[in-house]
């Protein structure tokens, strides 16, 4: 069971090199043509930005041709398709990816060279498409890559944010947020589709009418109507056979928007209202795993769901007219967390109010259409909306939600007669002082399948989050372990390792990742070990140059490159890492001969702008870094680097250079993690807790090739039941006490004593909610074991190789094959 699931009927396409009919000369010609006629410049005047645009436009010609063929083929075959609804798609850059998927990267590189241009410089011109916060958004991006690669009919639906996730600057150690203006100079990949504009009603009131046969008819009279303008981003599969679409909606004021105000001469007022309509898709909420509960966010969610459903229904009707009986055979909608859950009552509204189906027929269709993925157990991240707010913005939807709930509670009464505690617990409506709608419960009730994102997480979803639903509908709750696309996260980002792997086992691994296991037989081979570690060394040198460039810090590339990259959150415990760094610093000050291999601790993390403690942790990392990096007593042994503005394109530079991957969340808190997979795939060894997908990574690589430490989920539960008191550990562990007290001094913040105290307080008087102190000792021991393993060169090389070799299970192609088999029931559609 620890092995990768066997290959399914859905098979990733292997690349057919003969398809790359484009020659170097063709590419050169296309680029120059676009330089002239799309950009209005020429070879002499063009800067890298112009070359990037011209090169992208040249690629887009090929992309659009495949897109047309794909769409025609899907239409002709009237295929069942998955519709991936997600408020976030963290795409990163597209040019290099599209070139790799067309197998034209080397050819384009050569073509540009002949034009006197470096492809690497051109690629750096592309702004990241950062329409997501972190794990959930990047997962969506990996999934649509795999869907296209596996020739599955699929469409991603989301929001065309004008500003993606904020750009992070570090000033005097602290995070500053700046707007992300990714489209300021145009986006060469997106296509506006005015012919598919949709209108979305908001606010207003509901009128009850009585039809002839006594049928109650509801009519929503909206107070506002906004326009949704679709922008399509083509998604190129590996091998470039299928090109699917990511359709993102931008809000605009509709023509009838406050028509009356306009007519009565209120020109300026009407313009002000216009700005409000455009606000809907203005900016991505920068919170990772916490709920803002803001009106605008609910409007964003409804806006993109309503547009997307109308789009789906328009396409369905073109083939099936008013016959709704086949809808759920043709359409499956995957809800990426509860953010799009409002789509459930919206589809009911369309079926009951507009199509005039009876409730049971409508519910029969609806509950066979949706499936829901849960991404977190953190209670603060489970979405709840005030009934009042929904009532105001979506007056018809609140009625529908009550009706869904009423019928559901009848079912609960049948199963558990007279059990009102059970009803209160399962109800979609939470009867607190302020009545709330529980979007998680709505999603489970309205979906035919619900999944967690790693074995342990799905088990906890069943046992702790939704145990009664599991009893009510056995089999509805399931697991699909996350995955990552090996195209972006190995082939494109780590060309040296990819080439080495190709020489050893051939070039089929990017679409058949379990093949990497063939590298295992060379794990003890001296020559291969040397080649593998030489690649790692080169990648470390490249990252060292980047670090120097970004921060001015010089790092020793013979040191261990130890990397923790992820959103800043207490449960991810960047502060546990920091406590350990400070402990090492103390050990070195106390004993200059303290035996350790030089190590560079590298961080990348954005904090939600309103999450004060997370920002304090960033500040503390930077202050400790300043001190250590400038302390000649220790800076030949430890360096600490915080790379600003962590994002997809920076991850692509950091991951290939990592020796060590820090995955140290409190057990039970990290649903899966996906950075853990990316780092291990690139030959980094994990130091981590038995949490999320770390457990499955450990099963794959074996206990000898990972450093596991800390409490298990059961031990965490036991300790909190018994009562956890961080002071017990504080008074017991002298080193830890000294390190925590250090935070209260002005040692790291000269002249500002107490500037780092909030951190200490959170772990003492604050109760240490994520149990850093409880896991510290074990973490410190694991770090010692890691340090001595690194100094045994052949042993480390073997570990690194086996980490790469054993990552086959974690390709997102396998995740998608699991979704197809367990939930979506799709068949691939070959596009010739």
Active centre residues (catalytic): 375, 566-567, 572, 674, 678
**Roughly what angle, to the nearest 10 degrees, separates helices 24-37 and 105-114?**
60
- HEC profile for 252-297? EECCCCCHHHHHCCCHHHHHHHHHHHHHCCCECCCCCCCCCCCHHH
Which of 315, 375, 396, 615 touches ligand 7GP by CB under 6 A?
A: 375
Provide the token pair at 274.
């216009």
Tell me whether residue 206 or residue 292 sits nearer to ligand 7GP (CB atom): 292
Q: Which stretch binds ligand 7GP (CB under 6 A): 310-318, 418-426, 622-630, 665-673?
A: 665-673
Least distance CB 569 / ligand 7GP (angstroms): 8
Which of 153, 345, 446, 692 touches ligand 7GP by CB under 6 A?
A: 692
Q: Establish if 301 lies at the interface with ligand 7GP (CB under 6 A).
A: no
Q: Rounded to whole angstroms, how far apart are CA atoms 823 and 817?
A: 10
What percent helix, strand, coil does the chain show, rounded to 5? 50, 15, 35
Least distance CB 134 / ligand 7GP (angstroms): 5
For residue 383, which of 87, 612, 162, 669 has the smallest C-alpha distance? Answer: 87
Q: Establish if 288 lies at the interface with ligand 7GP (CB under 6 A).
A: yes
Q: Establish if 230 lies at the interface with ligand 7GP (CB under 6 A).
A: no
Least distance CB 298 / ligand 7GP (angstroms): 15
Q: Tell me whether residue 448 is exposed, middle or buried, using C-beta atoms within 10 angstroms of its C-beta: 0 to 12, 13 to 18, 19 or more.
A: middle
Write each residue from 409 to 448 as x if it is in contact with ligand 7GP (CB under 6 A), else as -, in one continuous string: ----------------------------------------
Least distance CB 382 / ligand 7GP (angstroms): 8
Instruction: Name residues whose C-beta falls within 8 Å of residue 548's C-beta, 6 or more positions apart in sequence.
Output: 554, 555
Cα distances from 137 to residues 86, 288, 721, in angstroms, run 8, 10, 34
Place of tokens 């808190």: 669
Q: Which stretch binds ligand 7GP (CB under 6 A): 259-267, 649-657, 670-678, 803-811?
A: 670-678
Cα distances from 546 to residues 170, 343, 413, 550, 653, in angstroms, run 16, 44, 62, 6, 8
Provide the token pair at 410.
């009848």
Binding to ligand 7GP (CB under 6 A): which residues in 113-172? 133-136, 139
Which residue's beta carbon is nearest to the bound ligand 7GP?
135
User: In 10 A of CB 816, how many CB atoms?
Assistant: 29
Tell me whether residue 376 or residue 762 sits nearer to ligand 7GP (CB atom): 376
Which of 670, 700, 775, 813 touches ligand 7GP by CB under 6 A?
A: 670
User: In 10 A of CB 781, how many CB atoms?
Assistant: 12
Give the DSSP letter string of 705-774: GSEE-S--HHHHHHHHHH---HHHHHHH-HHHHHHHHHHHSSSSSTT-TTTTHHHHHHHTTT--TT-HHH
User: What phi and psi values does residue 725 have, to the nearest 5 degrees?
Assistant: -125, 105
Write each residue from 584 to 623 as x if it is in contact with ligand 7GP (CB under 6 A), else as -, in one continuous string: ----------------------------------------
Strands 331-336 and 370-373: parallel
Tell me whether residue 481 or residue 529 sits nearer to ligand 7GP (CB atom): 481
- Burial code of 74-106, b = ≥16 C-beta within 10 A, e = fewer? beeeebbbbbbbbbbbbbbbbbbbbbbbbbbbe
Provide the token pair at 489.
């996260």
Which of 109, 289, 570, 696 touches ligand 7GP by CB under 6 A?
A: 289
Which of 112, 155, 381, 442 touches ligand 7GP by CB under 6 A?
A: 381
Tell me whether residue 440 or residue 828 sits nearer to ligand 7GP (CB atom): 440
Q: Rounded to whole angstroms, how far apart are CA atoms 465 and 480?
A: 17
Instruction: Name residues whose C-beta falls within 8 Å of residue 691's C-beta, 6 or more positions apart in sequence.
Output: 456, 663, 665, 666, 667, 668, 669, 670, 673, 713
Which of 429, 621, 671, 755 touches ligand 7GP by CB under 6 A?
A: 671
Strands 449-452 and 436-438: unpaired
Least distance CB 571 / ligand 7GP (angstroms): 9
Least distance CB 645 / ligand 7GP (angstroms): 18
Binding to ligand 7GP (CB under 6 A): which residues in 336-365? 337
Please, where are the H alpha helices in 321-371?
A: 327-330, 343-349, 359-366
Q: Establish if 672 lies at the interface with ligand 7GP (CB under 6 A).
A: yes
Provide the token pair at 735.
């080193």
Tell me whether residue 135 or residue 173 sits nearer to ligand 7GP (CB atom): 135
Q: Establish if 696 lies at the interface with ligand 7GP (CB under 6 A).
A: no
For residue 225, which of 196, 203, 201 has the smallest C-alpha distance? Answer: 201
Least distance CB 289 / ligand 7GP (angstroms): 4
Least distance CB 763 / ligand 7GP (angstroms): 22
Specify the long-range contacts of residues 309-316, CB closer than 8 Å, at least 24 apart: 309/343, 309/346, 309/347, 309/350, 310/198, 311/157, 311/196, 311/198, 311/230, 311/247, 312/83, 313/350, 314/196
Beta-bridged to residue 155, according to DSSP, are: 83, 245
Tell me whether residue 22 or residue 161 sits nearer to ligand 7GP (CB atom): 161
Least distance CB 418 / ligand 7GP (angstroms): 35
For residue 550, which of 599, 604, 620 has the smallest C-alpha distance? Answer: 604
Tell me whether residue 289 or residue 659 sits nearer to ligand 7GP (CB atom): 289
Least distance CB 441 / ligand 7GP (angstroms): 15
Tell me whether residue 335 or residue 820 sits nearer to ligand 7GP (CB atom): 335
Which of 50, 453, 607, 799 touches ligand 7GP by CB under 6 A?
A: 453
Tell me whether residue 361 or residue 479 sits nearer to ligand 7GP (CB atom): 479
Q: Which stretch binds ligand 7GP (CB under 6 A): 66-74, 429-437, 669-677, 765-773?
A: 669-677
Least distance CB 677 / ligand 7GP (angstroms): 9
Least distance CB 429 / ligand 7GP (angstroms): 21
DSSP E strand stretches across 481-604: 560-565, 599-604
Q: Which stretch binds ligand 7GP (CB under 6 A): 375-383, 494-502, 600-608, 767-775?
A: 375-383
Tell me whether residue 265 or residue 379 sits nearer to ligand 7GP (CB atom): 379
Tell me whether residue 396 or residue 566 sits nearer to ligand 7GP (CB atom): 566
Which of 251, 447, 482, 485 touches ligand 7GP by CB under 6 A?
A: 482
# residues contacting ligand 7GP (CB under 6 A)? 19
Tell me whether residue 288 or residue 616 sits nearer to ligand 7GP (CB atom): 288
Which of 673, 688, 726, 828 touches ligand 7GP by CB under 6 A?
A: 673
Instruction: Name residues whose C-beta falls within 8 Å of residue 501's C-beta, 6 or more positions apart in sequence.
Output: 509, 516, 519, 804
Q: Establish if 376 lies at the interface with ligand 7GP (CB under 6 A).
A: yes
Tell me whether residue 5 or residue 525 sits nearer to ligand 7GP (CB atom): 5
Q: Establish if 335 lies at the interface with ligand 7GP (CB under 6 A).
A: no
Least distance CB 256 / ligand 7GP (angstroms): 35
**Contacts with ligand 7GP, residue ranges (CB under 6 A):** 133-136, 139, 288-289, 337, 375-376, 381, 453, 482, 670-674, 692
């Amino acid at each position: 069971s620890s092995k990768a699931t066997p290959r399914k009927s859905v098979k990733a396409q292997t690349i057919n090199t003969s398809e790359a009919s484009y020659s170097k000369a063709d590419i050169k010609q296309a680029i120059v043509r676009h330089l002239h006629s799309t950009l209005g410049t020429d070879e002499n005047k063009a800067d890298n930005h112009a070359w990037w645009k011209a090169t992208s436009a040249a690629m887009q010609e090929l992309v659009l041709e495949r897109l047309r063929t794909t769409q025609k083929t899907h239409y002709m075959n009237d295929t069942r398709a998955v519709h991936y609804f997600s408020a976030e798609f963290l795409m990163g850059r597209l040019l290099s990816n599209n070139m790799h998927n067309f197998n034209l990267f080397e050819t384009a590189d050569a073509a540009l060279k002949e034009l006197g241009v470096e492809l690497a410089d051109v690629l750096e011109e592309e702004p990241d498409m950062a329409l997501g916060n972190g794990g959930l958004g990047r997962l969506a991006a990996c999934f649509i890559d795999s869907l296209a690669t596996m020739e599955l009919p699929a469409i991603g639906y989301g929001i065309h944010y004008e500003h993606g996730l904020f750009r992070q600057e570090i000033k005097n150690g602290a995070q500053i947020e700046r707007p992300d203006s990714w489209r300021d100079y145009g986006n060469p990949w997106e296509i506006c589709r005015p012919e598919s504009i949709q209108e979305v009603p908001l606010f207003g009131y509901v009128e009850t009418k009585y039809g002839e046969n006594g049928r109650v008819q509801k009519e929503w009279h909206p107070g506002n109507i906004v326009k949704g303008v679709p922008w399509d981003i083509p998604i190129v599969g590996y091998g470039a056979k299928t090109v699917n679409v990511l359709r993102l909606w931008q809000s605009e004021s509709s023509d009838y928007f406050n028509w009356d105000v306009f007519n009565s001469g209120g020109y300026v007022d009407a313009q002000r209202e216009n700005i409000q309509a455009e606000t809907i898709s203005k900016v991505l909420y920068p919170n990772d795993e916490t709920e803002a509960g803001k009106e605008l966010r609910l409007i964003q969610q409804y806006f993109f769901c309503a547009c997307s459903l109308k789009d789906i229904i328009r396409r369905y009707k073109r083939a099936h007219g008013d016959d709704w009986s086949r809808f759920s055979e043709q359409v499956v909608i995957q809800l990426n967390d509860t953010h799009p859950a409002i789509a459930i009552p919206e589809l009911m509204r369309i079926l009951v109010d507009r199509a005039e189906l009876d409730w049971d027929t409508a519910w029969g269709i609806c509950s066979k259409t949706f499936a829901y993925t849960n991404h977190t157990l953190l209670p603060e991240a489970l979405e709840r909306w005030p009934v009042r707010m929904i009532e105001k913005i979506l007056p018809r939807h609140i009625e529908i939600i009550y009706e869904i709930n009423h019928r559901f509670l009848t079912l609960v009464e049948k199963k558990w007669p007279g059990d009102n505690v059970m009803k209160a617990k399962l109800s979609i409506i939470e009867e607190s002082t302020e009545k709330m709608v529980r979007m998680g419960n709505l999603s489970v009730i309205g979906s035919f399948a619900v999944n967690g994102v790693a074995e342990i997480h799905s088990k906890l979803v069943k046992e702790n989050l939704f145990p009664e639903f599991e009893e009510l509908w056995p089999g509805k709750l399931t697991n699909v372990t996350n995955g990552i696309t090996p195209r972006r996260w190995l082939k494109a980002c780590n060309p040296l390792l990819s080439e080495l792997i190709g020489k050893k086992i051939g070039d089929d691994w990017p679409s058949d990742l379990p093949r990497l296991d063939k590298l295992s037989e060379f794990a003890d081979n001296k020559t291969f070990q040397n080649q593998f570690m030489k690649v790692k060394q080169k990648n470390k040198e490249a990252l060292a140059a980047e670090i120097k460039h970004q921060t001015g810090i010089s790092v020793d590339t013979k040191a261990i490159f130890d990397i923790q990259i992820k959103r800043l959150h207490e449960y991810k415990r960047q502060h546990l890492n920091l406590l350990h760094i400070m402990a090492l610093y103390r050990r070195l000050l106390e004993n200059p001969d303290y035996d350790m291999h030089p190590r560079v601790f590298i961080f990348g993390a954005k904090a939600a702008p309103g999450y004060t403690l997370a920002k304090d942790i960033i500040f503390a990392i930077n202050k400790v870094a300043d001190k250590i990096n400038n302390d000649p007593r220790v800076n030949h042994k430890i360096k600490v680097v915080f790379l600003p503005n962590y994002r997809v394109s920076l991850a692509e530079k950091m991951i290939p250079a990592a020796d060590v991957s820090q995955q140290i969340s409190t057990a039970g808190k990290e649903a899966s993690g996906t950075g853990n997979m990316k780092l291990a795939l690139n030959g980094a060894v994990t130091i981590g807790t038995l949490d999320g997908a770390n457990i499955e990574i450990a099963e794959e690589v074996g206990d000898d090739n990972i450093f596991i430490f800390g409490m298990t989920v059961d031990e965490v539960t036991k300790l909190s039941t018994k009562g956890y008191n961080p002071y017990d550990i504080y008074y017991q562990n002298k080193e830890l006490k000294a390190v925590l007290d250090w935070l209260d001094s002005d040692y790291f913040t000269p002249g500002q004593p107490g500037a780092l105290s909030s951190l200490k307080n959170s772990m003492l008087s604050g109760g240490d909610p994520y149990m850093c102190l409880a896991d510290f000792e074990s973490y410190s021991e694991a770090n010692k074991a890691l340090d001595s393993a690194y100094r045994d060169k052949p042993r480390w090389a073997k570990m690194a190789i086996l980490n790469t070799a054993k990552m086959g299970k974690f390709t997102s192609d396998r995740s998608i094959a699991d979704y197809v088999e367990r939930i979506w029931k799709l068949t691939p559609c070959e596009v010739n």
